[in-house]
Structure 1
Amino acid sequence: MSLEYLDWNELIASHFFRSEKRVQPVYLYVTESLINELGSDRGGDLQDFIKTLNTGVPWVTRHNQGICQKALQSWENWRDNPHYNSDYSYPPYIGYLTLFVLAAGIEGDFSSNSYYPRLRSLLGEELKTGQYPSFEKMHQLWEDLEQWANEDTNGEWGIFNCITIGQNRHISFPLAQMLLTEEEQKNLPNIFAEADLDPLSLPSETAIASLLSLHGKQYLRSHTLNLLNENDERCQILIERILEELNHWDGSVIETNSKIYYGNLRLCCKLDEIAGVTEITLRCTSRYDLPENDLDLLIEGNNEIYSCSEEIGGWSSHLKLNSRNLDASQFDFDWEKGFKMRSQDGEWCFKFSGSPVRILIKGQNYDLPGWVETSQLPKEKPFYLLVHPDHIEAIEAWGNSACQGFEKVRINQGLPQGWSLFKVDFAKSDNLVKSKYPNLSFPSTIRLSFKGGLRLDRRNLFFTFAQPDILLQGHNEEIDIDCQDQKLSPISFGVYQLPENLPLNEKISITARHQEEIIQQINLTLINDNLQNSSNSNDTPDYTRDVFGSFTELEESNHAKIRGAIVEGFEIPEFNFNTLLPIQGTNRIIFIGRKVGQIATPSEILEQDWTPIWAIASGRRSRVQFCGIDFNEVSPIAEKYGDRKQLKQWKKFLWYDRKVITPPKEQKLRCLWNKYQKEAKRV
């Protein structure tokens, strides 16, 4: 049975977009062998596929105007097209996009940057250079595919994001699909982990190309590795695609059938230039949510336990040793070589990437105090450099010739032995250092990205109450940023704020232009943050899950379902304070009541007829937390409760262990705690 064009379209689209790819990135990596494999059951191959492309969809009328006009006609108003019936599940133009991707991967006697002769060769036409007729209009199909995948189907069959970069943005669409195989795409997290890359601080293109070449040898094809060393448009598109994947990487890697979460260790610096003193500490960073409990970390060959807890936006608190901030300058490890810290259960690994030159920028970029380490040379911003003694001469030569306000800072205390600190108002050029020190390099291509905001998922859905700013990198004063036909003004260097009153639940485009030419474009959608109003709105999509955590459509029923803070079809029990465990991550929790002898573990407290006043976390770092309800009814009562064993336990925790339990910090609670200790002394 022969295949018509729409049959091919369904076969190809269903291979890439399917339920197993829900909210995962989809790339149309197409090869001749794939086309032959998909059509084999029905006697079709690549040549049959190309013939159907020339025939086009049943409603085509522009038969003699070229393949791109047929593609356009398959796209125009396809959602309302009466000829495109319910037998088909996918946009009817995906077959044509497949053709354009296939052309990007054709081998042969073509120059490396030659795309259009490849396309003509695939179609059996005369080989010649120059843009294919109407090819500049194909961006409408790619953008519609993004809308269909991300908005129409809510990412249920996969996420598709257009990549537009370079001077010829039209060919960047198909090129971006073919630069990495599915296997290479799958291996990127392993490379990111081995290269100590941080999704919260993206490196420059120069740095990431160098790191990928070094750490990707067992994961990437030689063709891909060679491309990373080329200085052409394909290399720029490849790096942009990899940066996009790094930006979304949650830090997880599958190793020997278990998931390991990787993060980074970053220097944080408190500086007093007048006194010549620095205080350098370490924080953990991770795209994946850090544990709610304290995180204990070890270094191989070292029995010391370093601890931290989640603090803000993917950052931990300062690493502590024996309850004091770890002095990173006195660490027994070389900053130039780097080291690793792992959690005791092996589930977390944080890497301190080795470098002889380390960059510090203002912590306010991350809502942190002081100065914080970053992995890319800032443009037109002040920064500090921490420099290993063997590299001071090279950095001074660059700083004195290519930086404004370059000077050495006198530091008497707080730096590792031999290291120096330099202050820079801003760097004017990276030419003298970027080849030797990849982190001392500017972005080399125009790149738009989102900064901050509260993102729902990879579809670039943001809540309207937490909109992102727009970050422009690798730019100059000739680049204009537009949003919804409004020209944006920077609020700081390279950072732009979205305009007010943007529409909800619609694609919003942000475009970088150079003299009216589009250089790059990114899209986002704002969704309503008013859950109560959105539940009654026909315009706002409903995201609900059933009791098993699976997505369901919102409908009138008595079945339990949850949507954000709204729970329907389930009667929520009255809140009982006895079920609260206010302290977690310790060896043991004990609840203490008002009466002498009222003591229970978490499993026992649910069966008690009294309300706990204190929760004591006993273990390596014992502490107490107040959990009473009414402060007027929390004083200890001398009346005895329970048996002799309970009385002894009550006295043990309140009196005998008083020196090893950290009391509450608040004075009011500390006084109350002392009353309980005095009562326990009399037992």
Structure 2
Amino acid sequence: MDYAGWNRAIAQRFFNEGASCVPVYLAVNDALLEELGGADDAVQREPATDFEAAVQTRVHGRDPFKEVVLAAHRWRKDGAHGDPPFIAVLAATVLAAARMDRRPDSDRGRFSYYRPLRQLLGIPGDGMPENYDTHVPQLWDLLKWWLDDFLKARRGLATAATHPATRHIGWSISQAVLTGADRTHVGLFLASLGASRDDNVHEADLLARFEEWLRLRGNCGKLEQVLANAQMRSILGRVLAQELKRFDGLVRDPSGRACLSLLLTSTDAGEPYGLAVRVPTQLRGVVLEIDGKELPIPEYVERMLLPAHLGNPVPGAVLELDGSVAKLLLPRTDCYVFQIDDVLGMWVTVDGAEAGLSHRVLVRETFAAEAEIVMRHAGGDAIRKIRRARIPSGWVAYSGYVPTRTVPAPVRLGPLVPHHRQLARLVGGLRLSPDRNIYLAGYAPDLLIPQGPEDGAIPAIALNGSQALSLPESTESTIRLADFAREPGAHEVAVDGCRLTFQLVDRLREITVAPTVRLAVRANGRLCPRPELVLPSTSQSTTSRSSGERASEAGPNLNRWACGAAVCASPSYLGTQLSASVTDRAFALGERGVGAELRPSTTPPGWLSDLGLPVLRMNIEELLAAMPFRPRWLLLIDQAGRSTAQTINVASNRSDGTLPSSWRMLSTAEWWQLADGDVTILDGATATWDRYLRGSDPHA
């Protein structure tokens, strides 16, 4: 296989449509080359040897990376068509990092990386190749630009980052730190913390938690070798912090496929056990395919029972099911906590007990005495052993466990304690945004402090960098922040290595935006009969890519939806109410040369745009009916300067011929400047627009 073939194969393996909005690591090693090369008939020798020979056709000479960098800049200047021509070269630098000696006592100086790099590239000598420190970082920057800026994360998010301890080679090493199942371990670890992308945790604290989690989980592959080396530890800490900032609550495998949590189900915490799956919002409505049978997931469920034939769950054993679009995992554990599920009508395992709710517990007999002590300290004085159920050999089951507080506990028994060893978090308060920590002044959230180390050490807590806070009592786990944070503005709470931020505002908006219903527009201009409910978005920075965009995203998608789209339906009437953002420039165009511009009577308050919240929308249909001429087209220009036009059929009800104060009449020159510009015609009405510009009947 030549260089172009390897470059294409690696690009398609890592940067594909399935990795949309997912952090992607260019984790190339000899096993991957064997897989890619073995699937291609053009590879006539060992895949690793063939790959090295292909890369050496591009990297050679005294300044080995110069040719590749020049080709990369030409590729970007010419429009960045196709895959970047330098992916195989970056893959070679990662392969060198994968071939480094990972023994704890090995020397990780410049020669431990550059020696395998030079051998791979066929460059004699030792130490850093000429201009490696300037050329290779440029290539990583170009890859980040291509993924994050040019493609808008449609084929993945860039993850390469360096570290002060490994300034030049850290880019490549950061891609080789996590390989194979290690990346799934990171997702499972963050999920066990109850982490979200808004959390700000110090790298050292995050690394310490991860190390302990791996130790108790066991079978952590090469991560033990990574953690045993100081330089690799620092890079892993940076990678964990980066993964936390992008964690959306969905665990993924190395290929970017979702990993769903399997749950044990039972009628009494005893045998026989069944399986349920926890369904994240991102996968509701998809169809799983398990053992050749389709299993559709309804759009409204959080947990769903699986058919009995799909698995034979055994407590304490690992179970994996392949669901085509997702992998289903039941991890190994020594303690299961069951909670009644009113929808499923069964006892279902949960990640951790909740205060005030009744639970049943299944624990290994080895740890039963220790578990009883933990449950009684947590307030479960009414626990009793279950004797009539069919309990598996080597296990003990309890009923009547109702925890009332958080207490120290061994990590293996952590599910018994509410929020055990999770990150500090904000709870309660009058929250004004579902995806941002914005609260109404006077109604700040509470700070929940889960128990940390087994010795019950009390963490250091500070508000806004100076005011020290303390828990009221040793058994309490929350602090009422409303007693300390009263002023509108940004606030920060530091809990040891974790930092939480929130904002207080006097008010959110002048009026309430109600949910609407909209209908898709077909190519013939008619509305589809199936309406879709659209909930008003509270953020213009949403990354949702579901089939039904939020109302705030309707502007760039006018070619798919009725403009703004509040749809009224009754047995005898179906019509649309046209609307637009008050930041859009709206124009009504009548006969050729006749038009008027809408003058908004209100403007959004400055604090609304400062918070990044959507601006208010205005109803245009009533204003169009007040025109002194019959409007034929509605033309909108958004804040980015993009013009869209769609045909309208609104009859004028104004007979005096005067123009309402909300409109300004256009001159003929202004009309031609609008109509003769770059206008996107919606609903497939391009031919009608051309006839309109020529002066013929636009509706002929």
TM-score (norm 2): 0.43
